[in-house]
């Protein structure tokens, strides 16, 4: 069984029910397809393609891809 992704509870200003947002990383449209992120991922969870994709359910959230990206095309989510 896969463990649930860590989440952050976002409280809405209008008083409606809070939103749960998964924490992790995502590859943005700023990518250049160099594969640097894939090469530094200790879990090997970044899949090559157009675009490259991070398998969030297996990500360690270590930030190696985020730190290594030469064009800052990886962003943190759920912070």
The pTM score is 0.69
Alpha helices in the chain (DSSP H): 36-40, 64-68
CB hemisphere CA count around 63 (13 angstroms): 5
At 63 the pLDDT is 94
Read off the pLDDT of residues 1-30 as tens digits, 9 standing for 90 and up: 344 445 545 455 666 665 555 678 999 999
The string of pLDDT tens digits covering residues 16-75 is 665 555 678 999 999 999 999 999 999 999 999 888 899 988 899 999 999 999 999 999
């Amino acid at each position: 069984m896969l463990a649930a992704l860590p989440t952050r509870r976002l409280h809405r200003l209008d008083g409606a029910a809070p939103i749960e947002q998964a924490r992790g990383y995502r590859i943005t449209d700023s990518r250049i397809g160099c594969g640097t992120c894939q090469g530094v991922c200790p879990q090997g969870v970044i899949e090559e393609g157009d675009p490259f994709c991070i398998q969030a359910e297996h990500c360690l959230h270590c930030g190696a891809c985020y730190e290594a990206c030469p064009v800052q095309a990886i962003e943190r989510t759920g912070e």
